[in-house]
Amino acid sequence: MNKPDLRRTGLTDALGRRISYLRISVTDRCDLRCRYCMAERMTFLPKDQVLTLEEIALLADLFIARGVRKIRLTGGEPLVRRDIVDLVRRIGRHLDEGLDELTLTTNGTRLAQHAEALFDAGVRRINVSLDSRDPERFAHVTRNGDIRPVIEGLAAAKAAGLAVKINMVALKGINEDEILSMLQWCDREGFDLTLIETMPLGETGEDRTDHYLPLTQVVEQLRLHHELLPIAHRTGGPSRYHAVEGMGVRLGLITPLTNNFCADCNRMRMTCEGKIFMCLGHEDHVDLKTAFREGGVDAVQPLIDRALRLKPASHDFRIGGNAPAAAVNRHMSVTGG
């Protein structure tokens, strides 16, 4: 494979937004089946359609050479991918040499086995998806998942020195009465907490309207207990953070439905089969895999330029009324969030 052409730099879309953040889905597979994310029975990609870890690493090299400063590895569940830590080490070599941060989003089920190795490879901060600390609720949301390895994984992450942010999808009638206690628990544990509105991605067999909870309502309820003060803290993604009176925890809000955040989008997403999606809420994409396998980096460069030209101004997520059940056909697990 050719090395990245360093003469060709810069990632700026047609609207002048600087792209500095790449999310890479290393697998579409997951060991849980969260109701808002996946269907109960999923069909996953065959192995020959998935990029090898070496191909992912070489494409990451290219994006870093063109100005990406932060990479997040996602899935599916990234820690189910065999030899994932080898990829983390490979990309981690760029830290302080073009790359500012390498992070990972996980469901935590395999975190206990990998926490120390992730830290040693250069990861300093992770996001862990956890929608309930109640074992029965956790099993319901994840379709029979076991919360115990997740709690063990969180303990291992703390012990390894990883900063942890909990990602909690706010779900009406399921976990809305647990949000305050989750915030309090995160404060005690030294974690941050980000609340997320459910997104209409892929058919899951569930009616998202039944469980859609606007974060405007959540904030109103939390303010009955604590003052929330907007702060300038940013982690590169769409979350907008608040300090919580009397607590050390930072509270993030991701609001794709109630408060569109696309004007300053700095992200692209690459799936495990080498497709670049310019927006989570659109089907438009460019396919790097064939070009890369046939022509290497030089064949990929014009496709990235095309993706930048096609990046839309915003998503169009809607729930309820005449809105379709899913804004796009692909599941969240395919694109990596």
34 is in an annotated binding site: yes
Ligand-binding site membership of 72 (annotated):
yes
DSSP-assigned letter for residue 256: T
125 is in an annotated binding site: no
Q: Tell me whether residue 332 is annotated as binding.
A: no
The values of phi and psi at residue 68, to 5°, are -65, 130
**254 burial via Cβ count (<10 Å: 0-12, 13-18, 19+):** buried
105 is in an annotated binding site: yes
SS (H, E, C) 118-168: HHHCCCCEEEEECCCCCHHHHHHHCCCCCCHHHHHHHHHHHHHCCEEEEEE
Q: Is 133 annotated as a binding residue?
A: no
Q: Is 35 annotated as a binding residue?
A: no
Q: Find out whether 33 is annotated in a ligand binding site.
A: no
Q: Are 312 and 279 in contact (CB under 8 A)?
A: yes
Cβ contact 272:25 at 8 Å: yes
Answer for the pair 270, 276: CB distance below 8 angstroms, yes or no: yes
Does 23 show up as a binding residue in the annotation?
Answer: yes
The answer on whether 239 is annotated among ligand-binding residues is: no
Query: Quick one: tokens of 268?
Result: 């692209």
Residue 208 assigned ligand-binding role: no
- Give the HSE-up count for residue 154: Cα atoms under 13 Å, Cβ half-sphere: 20
30 is in an annotated binding site: yes
Q: Is 268 annotated as a binding residue?
A: yes
Cα angle vertex 25, ends 305, 236, to 5°? 70
Is 186 part of any known ligand binding site?
Answer: no
Q: Which residues sit in the known binding site?
A: 23, 30, 34, 36-37, 72, 76, 105, 129, 165, 199, 262, 265, 267-269, 279
Q: Which residues sit in the known binding site for GTP?
A: 23, 72, 105, 165, 267-269
Q: Which residues sit in the known binding site for S-adenosyl-L-methionine?
A: 36, 76, 129, 199
Q: Which residues sit in the known binding site for [4Fe-4S] cluster?
A: 30, 34, 37, 262, 265, 279
